[in-house]
């Protein structure tokens, strides 16, 4: 009888551990990753990054002229990076130019080169510099 009670307790503990384990996994993913990972596979691929970048681009472009000037970029891209990313040299980034920086920073943040960024990669300096463009 005592043994049965213990087993019931053990089963109960096991049952309770399952949802707790799930919560643990959910909490392990950063808010940044969760927001950038609509397919919920635990990493950001380039198409998810570009979709997020397009949303940020629209948000940063209140005058809707299709380009971001230094003011609209508000520190997300510093002067040197803006120059480097602005081959037509008009002092602003259009969506294509913005995408190109996003892609370059995505690749820089992906040292294992598997085409996705996991939470660990997002937490690096390169990962943060990528995040500054997509959130």
User: Of the two residues 7 and 74, which places its CB atom closer to Ca ion in the complex?
Assistant: 74
User: Of the two residues 1 and 27, which places its CB atom closer to Ca ion in the complex?
Assistant: 27
In angstroms, give the least distance from the CB of 62 to Ca ion.
7
User: Of the two residues 4 and 59, which places its CB atom closer to Ca ion in the complex?
Assistant: 59
In angstroms, give the least distance from the CB of 20 to Ca ion.
25
Judge whether 72 and 61 are in contact, CB under 8 Å.
yes
**Residues listed for the chain:** 135
Backbone angles phi, psi at 42, to 5 degrees: 85, 5
Q: Which of 48, 22, 23 is nearest to 35 (CA)?
A: 48
Distances in whole angstroms, Cα of residue 37 to Cα of each of 4, 100, 120: 45, 20, 14
In angstroms, give the least distance from the CB of 69 to Ca ion.
6
In angstroms, give the least distance from the CB of 19 to Ca ion.
23
User: Of the two residues 86 and 99, which places its CB atom closer to Ca ion in the complex?
Assistant: 86
> Would you call 16 helix, strand, or coil by DSSP?
helix
Which positions touch Ca ion (CB under 5 A)?
Answer: 37, 39, 41, 61, 63, 65, 86, 88, 90, 110, 112, 114
Residue that has been written with the tokens 């660990």 in this structure: 120
Judge whether 76 and 3 are in contact, CB under 8 Å.
no
């Amino acid at each position: 009888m005592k043994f049965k009670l213990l087993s019931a307790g053990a089963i109960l503990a096991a049952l309770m551990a399952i949802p707790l384990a799930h919560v643990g996994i959910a909490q392990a993913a950063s808010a940044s990753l969760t927001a950038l990972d609509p397919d919920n596979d635990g990493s950001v691929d380039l198409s998810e990054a570009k979709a997020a970048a397009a949303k940020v681009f629209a948000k940063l472009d209140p005058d809707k002229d299709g380009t971001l000037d230094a003011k609209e970029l508000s520190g997300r891209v510093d002067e040197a990076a803006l120059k480097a990313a602005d081959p037509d040299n008009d002092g602003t980034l259009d969506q294509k130019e913005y995408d190109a920086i996003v892609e370059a920073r995505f690749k820089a943040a992906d040292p294992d080169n598997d085409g996705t960024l996991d939470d660990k990669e997002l937490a690096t300096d390169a990962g943060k510099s990528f995040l500054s463009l997509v959130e």
